[in-house]
Amino acid sequence: MNDRMRYNASLDGLRALAALTIAFYHAHVPAMPGGFFGVDIFFVLSGYLITRLLVDEYHASGTVQLRRFVARRLRRLYPALLLMLLVYLLIAPLVFAQVSFGKHLLDTMWSALYLANYASAFGFPMSMLGHVWSLAVEVQFYLLWPLLFLLLVRMPRLWVVGAIALLYLLASGWRWWSFDHASDPWLIYTRADTHCSGLLLGCLLGYLNPRRIHRYWIVVAVVALFFAVTFFSWPWGTTARFGFPLVEVCAALLILSQPKWLGWRPLAWFGRISYGFYLWHFLMMRVLQEWQWHWLEVFLMGSLAGLVMATLCYYLVERRFHRAWFERTAPAVKVGSAPSAS
């Protein structure tokens, strides 16, 4: 399997913007009620990168090694998640004493099994680890998409494109209908079947792999994204109908255009550690919110603490496991290549 793609700094920059947008939302910054859309940017980007890996492997070998694919995803995601969950279990009884230790333990179990997005459906709503739902959606998608990809990829190219496009439209319509008939909007928001459209749109981009588009679309995408994160919020009806599709398309436009300014080194570096930042910043902000800090203090100090923990986690945990994987499975790699951060 071609586990390494040609590095593109602008995609890491897009990750950084998505992570920063989510941090605005988690800190309850008043001007950014739609900051949750950062998750949807991540989803489109993940679908794109994962499909590029699948396409490259299929073209190189005529198949996809499913077990190896899933193992690599888990090796990329799991060590950092387990470290964060361990720290959470250590501090939760002290900081979130109003919640029983048994509940903290149960939330940790749902998170470690990548089932946090369905915990509410089984009567166990998450208390302090609410952000882990998106990781569960991605991992559940990683388990299903390679199987579906192998079924589709042997078909004529036009049929594959049509099938993925149809899946995207069906997923978007299903989300729309589900929100209109929801008794628990949060459950609809976090379920994989009602929040997979962005991943599917990314898959469509990854399969087509079109050429870069005109720079004009960069301006359109940035302006539309700014509008989305400052305008859309609850209730979910309007957001489900118009907000999610708008953000998904804008993310797709930025992936296709790959503006150079997104590849600015500090931004790209932040994008590379954005997974750890996503894991840690929420926990830090919840602690500060528990202490009733002002939203600006929560954002600044929570983001700083999240950045420090993400940096340590990236260099001491994530990269070590990632490097060990490549040393074991692909000792000969092209000089100058860089790992996908998907």
Examine residue 39 and state whether it is found in any structural domain, yes or no. yes
Asked, for residue 148, whether it belongs to a domain, the answer is yes
Residue pLDDT, tens place only, 93-126: 999 999 999 999 999 999 999 999 999 888 888 8
Flag whether pLDDT at 1 surpasses 70.
no
Asked, for residue 338, whether it belongs to a domain, the answer is: no
Domain of 141, in residue numbers: 9-329
The model's pLDDT over 307-321, given as tens digits with 9 standing for 90+, comes to 999 999 999 999 888
What are the pLDDT digits (tens) for 164-175? 999 999 999 999
**CA 211 – CA 246 distance, rounded (Å):** 21
How many C-beta atoms surround the C-beta of residue 328 within 10 A?
8
In a domain, 291, yes or no: yes
Q: Does residue 3 lie in a domain region?
A: no
The helix (H) or strand (E) run that includes residue 104 is: helix 101-112
Domain membership of residue 340 (yes or no) is no
pLDDT for 331 equals 38
- Rounded Cα gap, residues 256 and 260, in angstroms: 12
Is the separation of the CB atoms in 51 and 203 below 8 Å? yes
Residue 174: exposed, middle, or buried by beta-carbon count in 10 A (0-12, 13-18, 19+)? middle
| Per-residue pLDDT, 233 | 86
- Would you say residue 315 lies in a domain? yes
For position 325, what pLDDT does the model report? Answer: 52
Mean pLDDT of 69-90: 95
**Domain assignment of residue 254, yes or no:** yes
Range 6-13 average pLDDT: 90
pLDDT for 237 equals: 80
Q: d(Cα 108, Cα 103) in Å, to the nearest integer?
A: 8
Q: What is the pTM of this model?
A: 0.92
Per-residue pLDDT tens digits for 34-68: 999 999 999 999 999 999 999 999 999 999 999 99
> Which of 4-8, 106-110, 235-239, 323-327 is most confident?
106-110
Does the structure show a pLDDT above 50 at 342? no
**Per-residue pLDDT at 123:** 84
Model pLDDT, residue 189: 93
20 Cβ contact list (under 8 Å, min separation 6): 38, 270
Tell me the one-letter amino acid at 235. P
Q: Among 152, 88, 142, 87, which residue's Cα sits nearest to residue 114?
A: 142
- Per-residue pLDDT tens over the stretch 250-283: 999 999 998 999 999 999 999 999 999 999 999 9
CA distance 243 to 287: 30
Question: Which token pair is 113?
Answer: 């099994």
Q: Count how many domains the chain has.
A: 1
Pick the more confident residue, 264 or 233.
264
